[in-house]
Amino acid sequence: MSNRFIQTATLAVVCSLCVTACSDTNTPSGPGEDAFDPNQTQAELQQVDAAFETPAFQSLAILGEHFGTSAGAAAAASADLLLEAGPTNAPIADRARRAGDRLTQAYASASASMAPIIPEDWLGRTYVYEAQAESYVHDPELTDAPEDGIRFVLYAVNPVTRQIMADTEIGYADVRDVGGDNSTAIRLTVVSEDVTYLDYTITATGVINAPVFKIAGFITDGEQQVDFTLVHSILVTIGNVQVGIDYDITTSEDFSVTVDVTLTDGSQTNSVSVNVTLNHGPNTVVLEGDVVDGTGTLTVTGNGAVFAVINLAPGSITVTDANGDPISQETQDALHRIWQVVEDVFDVFENLFDPIEWLFNFAG
């Protein structure tokens, strides 16, 4: 995709992130803003964060990168067929483009193989991490793996230094092939001390120029469960590339967040369409709009009433209420936190896809 496309999409993101810096004026809330409880929203989003901060998930996020270096898979992993995910601090549009490239190549690799994505002679094997080799190796003495999948032992890790404590087992991750005749699907579960902290399935469908990857399941911190559905779709045509991103995250019957982003790089124009919807009880807050070649408007509504407007033009960003006046600092902070969800789900998608990406590579 062109740099112009990346800059266009990035501007939309910068706009939303600049909400906290565009005004320092506190003004009374309007009818739309009354529908939004910023304190409760912060508390609900913290529960989402807590579910993804358990030792079991942190272990998967770090050790999952090593699953593909197991004995017998090293050749596939070193083939370097799949593109790197890119830095986590890259602009949203750049990360979306890289994710699209990764998934398109992954789907092409898996589609090229007529065999199951997990080789039959690997089923029932348990792999342990060997610190000296910095890779997973098959341990023939362990026979507790599922007959229809592979087991990887998980260990305690330092989330800051990423140091793997190979002498401290905390659980395991089971990887199963659950695909059918017309789809490729992998199920991964993470168990620690008899608690299933994570259970999700990655399904790949579509055709070579239009693959769709769906990750659906749940994660828990042992008390609060978060259900999620993450979908990446890519459509490549002559002179046009479109990446669609759809996320649904639910913490309870009363709180959910939906993120829909469509990025289009065309031969004549480039556009970004954004919709972030937060449902809390009877109230709904929506941030949405379109940016075409660097110009556009994003509106924020509460139960249908506009309470913030973000206007974009090349080199210019303005944020006001529906009447053109500055918005309150409390609203600014809340909108900033909502937008962080968009960035967070990119990290989540990568952490969930990384442990099985090597299987797509191997299949090709």
Question: Which stretch of 64-73, 129-138, 240-249, 271-280 has the lowest confidence by average pLDDT?
Answer: 64-73
Task: Name the residue range of residue 169's domain.
Answer: 3-363
pLDDT of 153 reads 96
Q: Which of 276, 221, 171, 193 is nearest to 49 (CA)?
A: 221
Is residue 8 predicted with pLDDT exceeding 50? no
Instruction: Give the pLDDT band of residue 347 (cuts 50, 70, 90).
Output: confident
Question: Which stretch of 30-39, 102-111, 200-209, 323-332 has the lowest confidence by average pLDDT?
Answer: 102-111
Query: How far apart, in Å, do the first and last CA atoms of the chain sit?
Result: 25
pLDDT per position as a tens digit, 194-210: 999 999 999 888 777 78
- Which amino acid appears at position 343 of this protein? E
What average pLDDT does the chain have?
A: 76
Q: What angle, 0 to 180 degrees and rounded to 10, lies between the N-to-C axes of helices 3-17 and 329-363?
A: 140
Is residue 3 predicted with pLDDT exceeding 60? no
Is residue 334 predicted with pLDDT exceeding 60? yes
pLDDT per position as a tens digit, 105-131: 666 666 555 445 787 888 999 999 998
User: What pTM, to 2 d.p., does this model score?
Assistant: 0.79
Under 8 Å between Cβ of 70 and 63: no
Is residue 27 predicted with pLDDT exceeding 50? no
pLDDT of 6 reads 32
Q: Which residue has the higher pLDDT, 323 or 76?
A: 323
**Cα 201 to Cα 83, 110, 332, 341, distances in angstroms:** 22, 16, 36, 21
pLDDT of 91 reads 52
Structural domains in the chain (count): 1
Instruction: Give the pLDDT band of residue 229 (cuts 50, 70, 90).
Output: very high
pLDDT of 362 reads 55
Neighbouring CB atoms inside 10 A of 289's CB total 21
Is residue 80 predicted with pLDDT exceeding 50? no
Measure the CA–CA gap between 207 and 23, rounded to whole angstroms. Answer: 47
Measure the CA–CA gap between 74 and 249, rounded to whole angstroms. Answer: 35
Is residue 139 predicted with pLDDT exceeding 90? yes
